[in-house]
Amino acid sequence: MPEQNNLEKIPIRIFPNETGELSIEIAKIIAQKIKENNQAGEKTVLGLATGHTPLDVYRELVRMRQEEGLSFKNVITFNLDEYYGVPPEEHRSYHRFMMENLFNYLDIEKENIHIPDGLVSQNQISQYCADYEKAIEQTGGIDTQILGIGRDGHIGFNEPGSPMDSKTRLITLDEITRKDAVSDFNEIKFVPKQALTMGVSSILSAKQIILIARGDHKAKIIKETVEGPVADKITASHLQEHPNTIIFADQAAASELTRIKTPWLCGPVDWVDKKLAYGAICYLSQKLQKPLSELSESDLKENQMAELLKNHQLLSLTEEIVENLKAKIKSKQDLPTEKKILIFAPHPDDDVISLGATIKKLIDNKNQIVSVYMTPGYTAVFDYAVENFLLQLEKIHLAFDFEDKFQSIRENIRQFLQKKNASPFGSLDTPEVLRVKTVIRMVEAISACEFLGVQKYEFLEMPFYRTGGAKKMPIREGDIQMVFNVLNKYQPDIIFAADDLNDPHGTHRLCLSAIKQALAQYQGKPQIWFYRGAWQEYHPGEANVFIPLTKEEVEIKRKSIFRHQSQKDTPPIPGASDLEFWQRAEIRNKATADLLKLYGIGDYEAVEAFKVKAVG
């Protein structure tokens, strides 16, 4: 059963990050309902969502069908939504997503699959939506409804302001939703402006609702949904009115819940736990904007921490925290020297974005560094960069009178890009275009490496990434083997691995999974330095190594990021921010430094943070 307190108005179960436990548990619930209804000779009606969030659930259901014989012949499905104006065969349509990720692998009857028709004519929309509602009612209603949640709290495509009594309808997508979809459509101009969606009332009519939330970027809205009041501006909050709703969240998505972040506000806690006490004191310092050494007993009493004083002497505790944090500060002479180091970067710029200054320090310390780029990152290259690149090649050929063998390729690409940009939703790039985008990012990565002094690099182009689009395949043996081969080749003493899980494509999460699975097979025991920075940053309480940066080192890091010209000037994936990656990195590094300064640890220009652990 989910843990719950009086602040949480919806039951919520919390699962470890990066594991399949959450998805497996949900798949088991669905499978059990199907089996029970099959035995009773009854139909099972499922409400389904699309996108990255439920993908692992669908993969587990496919596995159950293929390996355990779970039958879907008596299952009827209704999908939540579909982009309006998008043909079902279009590679970004929800219809195609569902077929390619679930229905094509099940024994479900085609007439039992219901997905909103994005091509229904304008004058028929009202009747079509009413018929969709009627079709659900005629089945006896949805048994289990699967939901994701948007950063603004939308469920289905019920944007903020959607009333509780809303039914299936055509809706205009708001700016946040369309920005979040850029990662699927590559450019905002290709993102549809409207969608068909089940209404809030349609969703609440389900007998059981399961909402899935993953990642830190969902933490704030999960807290508001679960602990805040019911309000149209946060559509998901209406789930508080449903008698059988449960939220399945990973630790990252649950991190802002009061019982996780500030559990003493929920009731008595075990203040003997030093980790809890440390966290509470740092939280209070941040809340009151007072250095740790200046916190008083009155501050604790006024903020519901009086019981902490029965187990700890405040002065002693703050001194311990300060000394503990100071011990984590590592200057250049404290860093490894003459070691073999592998830096695994999910995309070709994640290394310099997250630890560019640290890389330079490690180079200066005579470490042998190899940057390993796990994917080509071509989905984040704008088409104009391809045109510019090919034009540069053409002019170089003319300037040096080279024999020109690529005119036909350039013409093919030019014609494709013209058609792509004339189409309403774009299209998947051809292999030629993907190859050019791959080369662009490869050249930029090599340039950044050489700027910092990294002499060796590997470009893996892992199989899971080879979809041509934003959605990725699951990690399989071929991906793990690639990482394993690199480990065997270089026999590292230390590896760096990206640990930020907010990347909208899920690439960082998948790359980390491949690294961990490869390490499980690898005989060596390298030290692992986990890093963040591209999409999120470690809080000082999470990190155990802080590397201060001077103003000059911040400038070096910025210049190394600037070597990735295709990622500059316009954010390739706006997501939660319209800032470029170099700006995000500097803001986060400065924020870490400012927080350490607030605590009374030191005054630094910027700080790169890491979580270091040994394998085994």
CA 9 to chain centroid: 26
Q: Would strands 527-531 and 494-498 be described as parallel, antiparallel, or unpaired?
A: parallel
- Smallest Cα–Cα separation from 553: which of 298, 293, 355, 312? 355
Show the DSSP H helices in 522-580 as ranges.
Answer: 551-562
- Contact (Cβ atoms closer than 8 angstroms) between residue 215 and residue 507: no
Q: What is the DSSP letter of 207?
A: S
- Find all residues with CB under 8 Å of 343, minimum gap 6, and list them: 351, 355, 359, 369, 370, 371, 372, 495, 496
Element (H, E) at 456: strand 456-459
- Find all residues with CB under 8 Å of 139, minimum gap 6, and list them: 43, 45, 76
287-312 burial, b at 16+ Cβ within 10 Å, e below that, comes to eeebebeebeeebbeebebeebeeeb
Would you tell me the crossing angle of helices 383-400 and 431-452 to the nearest 10 degrees? 80
- Smallest Cα–Cα separation from 76: which of 125, 168, 32, 138? 138
AA letter at 544:
N
* Count of CB atoms situated within 10 Å of the CB of 571: 18
Angle value at C-alpha 483, between 478 and 484, nearest 5 degrees: 90
Q: What is the DSSP letter of 556?
A: H
428: its two tokens: 């998947």
- Smallest Cα–Cα separation from 502: which of 357, 354, 355? 354
443-464 burial, b at 16+ Cβ within 10 Å, e below that, comes to bbbbebbebbebeebbbbebbb
SS (H, E, C) 28-80: HHHHHHHHHHHHCCCCEEEEECCCCCCHHHHHHHHHHHHHHCCCCCCEEEEEC
Q: Which residues are catalytic?
A: 159
